[in-house]
Amino acid sequence: MALLFRNTPTHYGWIAILLHWLIAVLFIGQFALGLAMVRISSQRTAFELIQWHKSFGFLLLGLVLVRIGWRLGNVRPTLPETVAPLERRAAPLVHALLYVVQLIVPLSGWALVSVSVLEVPSVPFDLFVMPNLPLGASDAAEAFWSVAHEWLAWVGIALAALHILAALRHRFLLRDSVFQRMIAPPSGDEPRE
Ligand code: HEM
């Protein structure tokens, strides 16, 4: 039984699938953590949670860059013939927008810590010091990036919600292969559609 790592014209390979789910969990988890950490009354706990949020944010950014590279170097599986024409046009657009938000939400977070006048260093998982982006620190810049980061995160979650609803429709209403192909590729022995 051969493991399918790369995408084929009809199926996602293991690397695309693993990156999809790792990033999905991280993106949604980061959103929840972000909302929680700014609402916690204990300053000490909030500080700790913000450091975790920064660490996972840099991990997310790294994984998204790997994912975009992998996507550019692989074929994109086309949707099965049974998918309606409107969805055939809408899905690639939503996917492209999801790629954009996956990238710019962590980047806007990096911009936010870079312009902060508090100058708390970013040390992902206590491993190394992440340099700041070359942006001038000021209260006004911090206020701008804080609002931008939060709004972009909300746009990302709204798009993800739309995307999840569409995926669940395929799984439970249409019962076609679209959901299943993001769970596992066919094993080498099975026919590929
Ligand atoms: C429970 C959550 C999720 C479910 C059930 C889900 C399901 C799916 C499915 C079934 C596909 C394959 C569509 C196709 O065959 O064309 C897909 C693709 C995709 N998903 Fe998700 N997804 C989830 C969360 C997310 C999140 C949070 C993001 C981004 C923040 C995301 C980004 C993407 C992207 C960009 C693609 C297109 C992959 C490509 O063709 O390169 N997904 N998802």
pLDDT in tens, 22-76: 999 999 999 999 999 999 999 999 999 999 999 999 999 999 999 999 999 999 9
- Joined together, the tokens standing for residue 42 give 């204990």
Ligand 1 mutation pick, 8, 75, 163, max ligand atoms within 8 A of CB: 163
Ligand 1 mutation pick, 19, 20, 93, max ligand atoms within 8 A of CB: 20
Closest to 149 (Cα-Cα) out of 104, 111, 102, 108: 108
Instruction: Output the CA torsion 75→57→108→12 (10° steps).
Output: 10
Question: Residue 145: how many CB atoms within 10 A of its CB?
Answer: 21
pLDDT-derived band at 1, boundaries 50, 70, 90: low
163 Cβ inside 6 Å of ligand 1: yes
- What was the pLDDT predicted at 188? 62
Q: How far is the CA of 20 from the centre of ligand 1 (A)?
A: 6
Averaged pLDDT, 161-172:
97
How far apart are alpha carbons 101 and 152 in whole angstroms? 7
Q: What is the largest CA-CA distance in the chain?
A: 60
pLDDT digits (tens, 9 = 90+) for 62-119: 999 999 999 999 999 999 999 999 999 999 999 999 999 999 999 999 999 999 999 8
- What was the pLDDT predicted at 193? 47
Domain ranges in the chain are 14-182
Which residue's alpha carbon is nearest to atom 2 within ligand 1? 164
Amino acid at 99: Y
**Into which CATH architecture does domain 14-182 fall?**
Up-down Bundle (1.20)
- What was the pLDDT predicted at 140? 98
Q: How far is the CA of 165 from the centre of ligand 1 (A)?
A: 11
SS3 122: strand
How far apart are alpha carbons 54 and 6 in whole angstroms? 31
